[in-house]
């Protein structure tokens, strides 16, 4: 457990990103070329999850928040 993790630094060194599908997180993951597992928590994140899957950038665990 950590109160803070420097997400951009972690994305530089990881092979997979598990995310809620927020726009900032998804953009950062795309920028670093890291595939995603998206677990949406809100409706707009479910929309983003669909786009991630549609564009081959990752998979989604459900499209109806919370948590599929």
Q: In angstroms, rounded to a whole number, what is the distance separating the alpha carbons of residues 68 and 59?
A: 12
pTM of the model: 0.87
CA atoms within 13 A on the CB side of 51: 12
Low-confidence ranges of the chain (pLDDT < 70): 65-68
Q: What are residue 52's DSSP bridge partners?
A: none
Identify the pLDDT of residue 62: 86
Coil, helix or strand at residue 30: helix
């Amino acid at each position: 457990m950590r109160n803070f993790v420097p997400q951009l630094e972690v994305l530089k060194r990881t092979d997979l990103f598990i995310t809620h599908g927020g726009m900032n997180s998804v953009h950062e993951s795309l920028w670093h070329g890291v595939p995603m597992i998206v677990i949406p928590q809100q409706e707009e994140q479910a929309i983003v999850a669909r786009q991630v899957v549609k564009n081959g950038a990752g998979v989604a665990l459900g499209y109806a928040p919370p948590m599929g």
